């Protein structure tokens, strides 16, 4: 018993310091992912992007994790090699991708800088700016999603048996501050002669987040040395083997929660990509006000997600919360698309839905997946989730262009408004599919005995032997 108390993770101060350090990197990740959202009209003005072009840049974030399965491979690499080498490698990918994305919008590049002629030599229907920025988002996404997998495993490593749902919830809350700040700060950083400043500011935040991760590695080294000294780092039956993939992929709970993850996030994150533009066109708000309203969603989750995480730790009901959150998401999107209901109330309700599902979903995975397989599980979930994050922004942009024929960026600048109703109803459709999978997950939990409805601290002990 004395040996267990000597572990670094048993110190609340140590494990919460770890959570803050890795959450800063995740917040910087989220900030960069959403930095272009309030700049859609700026991109159209300076780079002559269409809505579909904007959707392509946004969607290419998910390309490597959708079509190259890099999040799954990253999860396997994580389980085989460990947190330190995997996390460092993919954090560097994030930085490289962010720099290329920002560079693709600069005057230096557009005036024939390095890489311009290469990008102008193929697929000439698409501009060199579009291709360079898409490449940057691709590399950024390659690093970003696996980095989130790494952070998820870090939280399981340090908080399993403690406040795991609250830790995941606070991590998400801090990360979404990054999203909120991107909506608030980006349009205000635009300068007439330096309109790419918001993107470069996001690059700087990523670099600071990388430094925070390097500080975390000091804690990780010390913790692993403690475990090794107790000769319990990895027992032979706890080492990851490729045969573990079969056990994971034949688990019905894993597939139901993954399908919910894909469809739920497909109805939220791509919506956020278009939300400022949607509020501008449908509700007649200024660009700044539209971005501020969109930022209320992630700001709201900073409050609600930890609250629901605390509830899951103490009371359980994870499967039920996922059902309620999915249903509320559908309700809000239908009101957005079909009515002019108060936008402030709707964005708060969407924030509640966006808090309910993730606060219950991410810690639930640790209840039916053992820790030595958790990186692969999260990697597979993020990889499939990226299918939605890749395809849905492109689909949304295409629907927006098709349902608004003949409206050009110049016409928008002179007062023309886009019809967003079909696009928003598409988001509602994904929410309905997610609601169905949430129902199936709860039904399966009753027969599998994974304990998704049980409090976190109660079920951890019960789940230790489940594989």
Mean pLDDT across 14-23: 93
Report the Cα 433 to chain-centroid distance in Å: 19
Range of the structural domain that residue 89 is part of: 21-222+240-463
Query: Above pLDDT 70, what percent of the chain?
Result: 90
Residue 427 has pLDDT above 50, yes or no: yes
- Tell me how far apart the 2 most distant CA atoms of the chain are, in Å: 73
- Could you give the CA distance from residue 89 to residue 261 in angstroms, rounded to a whole number? 26
- Could you give the CA distance from residue 227 to residue 180 in angstroms, rounded to a whole number? 38
Query: Residue 44's pLDDT is what?
Result: 81
Residue carrying the six token digits 């000597």: 6
Give 191's pLDDT tier (boundaries 50, 70, 90). Answer: confident
Give 350's pLDDT tier (boundaries 50, 70, 90). Answer: very high
Other C-beta atoms lying within 10 Å of the C-beta of residue 461: 9
Query: Residue 413's pLDDT is what?
Result: 65
| Higher pLDDT, residue 177 or 412 | 177
Provide CB contacts within 8 A for 246, sequence distance 6+. Answer: none
- Cα radius of gyration (the chain): 22
Domain membership flag for residue 229: no
Residue 9 has pLDDT above 70, yes or no: yes
Contact 321/308 with Cβ under 8 angstroms?
A: yes
| Higher pLDDT, residue 161 or 310 | 310
In 3D, which of 260, 298, 275, 288 has the Cα closest to residue 393? 275
Domain membership flag for residue 1: no
Domain membership flag for residue 179: yes
Domain membership flag for residue 380: yes
In 3D, which of 156, 172, 166, 174 has the Cα closest to residue 354? 172
Lowest mean pLDDT among 30-34, 93-97, 269-273, 291-295: 291-295
Domain membership flag for residue 180: yes
Query: Residue 2's pLDDT is what?
Result: 44
Residue 433 has pLDDT above 60, yes or no: yes
- pTM value? 0.73
Domain CATH code at residue 66: 1.20.1250.20
- Could you give the CA distance from residue 235 to residue 1 in angstroms, rounded to a whole number? 19
Residue 445 has pLDDT above 90, yes or no: no
Domain membership flag for residue 216: yes
- Give the total number of structural domains in the chain: 1
Average pLDDT over the chain, rounded to an integer: 84
Angle between the N-to-C axes of helices 269-283 and 51-59, in degrees from 0 to 180, rounded to the nearest 10: 160
User: Which structure tokens are listed for 137?
Assistant: 């988002």
Give 382's pLDDT tier (boundaries 50, 70, 90). Answer: confident
User: Which structure tokens are listed for 11?
Assistant: 């110190």
Residue 240 has pLDDT above 80, yes or no: no
Residue 465 has pLDDT above 50, yes or no: no
Query: Residue 415's pLDDT is what?
Result: 67
Angle between the N-to-C axes of helices 128-159 and 197-229, in degrees from 0 to 180, rounded to the nearest 10: 30
Write the pLDDT tens digit of every residue in 268-296: 988 988 888 888 888 888 777 887 888 78
Contact 358/372 with Cβ under 8 angstroms?
A: no
In 3D, which of 168, 99, 172 has the Cα closest to residue 140? 99
SS3 string, the chain, reads CHHHHCCHHHCHHHHHHHHHHHHHHHHHHHHHHHCCHHHHHHHHHHHCCCHHHHHHHHHHHHHHHHHCCHHHHHHHHHHHHCHHHHHHHHHHHHHHHHHHHHHCCCHHHHCCCCCHHHHCCCCCCCCHHHHHHHHHHHHHHHHHHHHHHHHHHHHHHHHCCCCHHHHHHHHHHHHHHHHHHHHHHHHHHCECCECCHHHHHHHHHHHHHHHHHHHHHHHHHHHHHHHHHCCCCCCHHHCCCCCHHHHHHCCHHHHHHHHHHHHHHHCCHHHHHHHHHHHHHHHCCCHHHHHHHHHHHHHHHHHHHHHHHHHHHHHCCHHHHHHHHHHHHHHHHHHHHHCCCCHHHHHHHHHHHHHHHHHHHHHHHHHHCCHHHHHHHHHHHHHHHHHHHHHHHHHHHHHHHHCCCCCCHHHHHCCCCCCCHHHHHHHHHHHHHHHHHHHHHHHHHHHHCCCCCCCHHHHHHHHCCCC
Length of the chain: 467
In 3D, which of 363, 342, 392, 380 has the Cα closest to residue 450? 363
Domain membership flag for residue 233: no
Provide CB contacts within 8 A for 174, sequence distance 6+. Answer: 20, 23, 24, 26, 27, 302
Query: Residue 460's pLDDT is what?
Result: 38
- Could you give the CA distance from residue 219 to residue 172 in angstroms, rounded to a whole number? 21
Query: Above pLDDT 90, what percent of the chain?
Result: 30
Domain membership flag for residue 58: yes
| Higher pLDDT, residue 439 or 63 | 439
């Amino acid at each position: 018993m004395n040996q267990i108390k000597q572990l670094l993770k048993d110190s609340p101060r140590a494990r919460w310091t770890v959570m803050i350090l890795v959450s800063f990197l995740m917040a910087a990740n989220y900030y960069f992912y959403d930095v272009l959202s309030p700049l859609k009209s700026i991109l159209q003005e300076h780079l002559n992007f269409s809505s579909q072009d904007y959707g392509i840049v946004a969607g290419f974030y998910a390309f490597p994790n959708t079509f190259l399965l890099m999040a799954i491979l990253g999860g396997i690499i994580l389980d085989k090699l460990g947190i330190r080498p995997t996390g460092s490698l993919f954090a560097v990918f994030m930085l490289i991708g962010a720099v290329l994305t920002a560079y693709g919008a600069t005057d230096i590049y557009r005036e024939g800088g390095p890489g311009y002629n290469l990008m102008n030599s193929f697929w000439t229907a698409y501009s060199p700016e579009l291709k360079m920025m898409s490449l940057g988002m691709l590399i950024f996404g390659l690093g970003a999603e696996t980095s989130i997998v790494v952070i998820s495993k870090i939280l399981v490593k340090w908080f399993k048996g403690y406040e795991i749902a609250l830790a995941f919830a606070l991590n998400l809350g801090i990360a979404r501050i990054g999203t909120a700040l991107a909506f608030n700060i980006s349009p205000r950083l635009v300068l007439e002669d330096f309109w790419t400043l918001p993107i470069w500011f996001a690059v700087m935040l990523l670099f600071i987040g990388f430094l925070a991760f390097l500080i975390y590695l000091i804690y990780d080294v010390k913790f692993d040395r403690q475990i090794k000294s107790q000769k319990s780092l990895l027992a032979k039956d706890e080492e990851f083997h490729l045969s573990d993939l079969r056990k994971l992929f034949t688990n019905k709970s894993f597939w139901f929660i993954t399908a919910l993850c894909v469809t739920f996030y497909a109805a939220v994150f791509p919506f956020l990509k278009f939300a400022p533009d949607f509020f501008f066109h449908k509700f007649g708000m200024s660009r700044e006000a539209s971005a501020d309203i969109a930022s209320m969603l992630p700001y709201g989750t900073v409050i609600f997600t930890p609250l629901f995480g605390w509830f899951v730790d103490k009371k359980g009901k994870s499967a039920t919360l996922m059902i309620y959150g999915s249903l509320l998401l559908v309700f809000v999107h239908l009101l957005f698309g079909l009515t002019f209901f108060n936008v402030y109330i709707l964005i708060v309700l969407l924030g509640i839905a966006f808090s309910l599902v993730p606060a219950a979903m991410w810690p639930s995975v640790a209840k039916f997946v053992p820790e030595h397989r958790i990186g692969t599980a999260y990697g597979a979930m993020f990889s499939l989730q990226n299918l939605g994050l890749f395809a849905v922004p492109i689909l949304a942009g295409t629907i927006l262009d098709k349902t608004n024929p003949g409206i050009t960026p110049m016409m928008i600048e002179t007062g023309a408004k886009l019809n967003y109703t079909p696009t928003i109803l598409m988001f509602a459709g994904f929410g309905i599919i997610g609601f169905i999978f949430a129902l199936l997950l709860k039904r399966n939990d009753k027969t599998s005995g994974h304990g998704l409805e049980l409090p976190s601290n109660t079920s951890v002990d019960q789940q230790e032997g489940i594989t």
